[in-house]
Amino acid sequence: MRKVVLGVVLVCMLAGFVSGCSGQAAPKDEEITTAALNGTYKLGDITVTLVNGKFEKEAAPGSATKARVTVWGKPVLGDVNGDGWKEAVLVLVHEPGGTGTFYYVVVLGKNKSSQKYTSTNAVLLGDRIAPKNLSIAGGTITANYTDRKPNEPMTTQPSVDVVKKLAVTGETLKEVK
């Protein structure tokens, strides 16, 4: 009986060591979501820091027009980089102050060694598209949305279903086939 108890204790200790070998506990879903809604992201040539899922500033100095970045929907959580910890995947909507409305996918995760949240690059889905949903399965991010046919004017309602698959390699978010 002592051998069985000792064996169980050793197995539990080993499991605890393997799951916690980084010395840090994985962040909770609420922590990740809060970090994502208050994260810093690079969209093309601009960098924005969200506050409760929103960013706003003058489109140009002295302008009444505002440039905005907001989160579409809610962050989707899942392990996209294979480190065993969940990351947040977001669709960011950038309205720079003109007629365009640009949709990007970004990933924000907590680095196990530095314990700091960092984001990937942003991948453009399109301008004035109609997002449907975002999901994670097996480390692959799937963005479903509706876009226009090639050469259709931007005034045309999006009518073409698009599925874009993305994955994180290293610290880079890329489209995958």
Residue 89's pLDDT is 98
Residue 9: band (very low, low, confident or very high) from pLDDT cuts 50, 70, 90 = very low
| Cβ 155 vs Cβ 174: under 8 Å | no
Six token digits for residue 90: 């977001």
pLDDT of 14 above 50? no
| Cβ 49 vs Cβ 80: under 8 Å | no
Report the predicted TM-score, pTM, of the whole model to 2 decimal places: 0.84
| Cβ 128 vs Cβ 146: under 8 Å | no
Q: How far from the centroid of its chain's Cα atoms is residue 155's Cα?
A: 29
pLDDT tens per residue, range 139-154: 999 999 999 999 999 9
Residue 80's pLDDT is 96
Which element (helix H / strand E) includes 18? Answer: helix 2-19
In whole angstroms, what is the distance from residue 78 CA to residue 168 CA? 12
In whole angstroms, what is the distance from residue 171 CA to residue 174 CA? 10
**Phi then psi dihedrals of residue 111, to 5 deg:** -75, 130
In whole angstroms, what is the distance from residue 94 CA to residue 74 CA? 16
Residue 103's pLDDT is 98
Block residue for tokens 């809604």: 37
pLDDT tens per residue, range 90-142: 999 999 998 999 999 999 999 888 899 999 999 999 999 999 999 999 999 99
Q: Which residues of 80-102 are buried (b: 16+ CB within 10 A; e: fewer)?
A: bbeeebbbbbbbbbbbbeeeeeb
pLDDT tens per residue, range 41-96: 999 889 999 999 999 999 889 888 999 999 999 999 999 999 999 999 999 999 99
Least Cα distance to 107 among 144, 138, 139, 59 occurs for 139
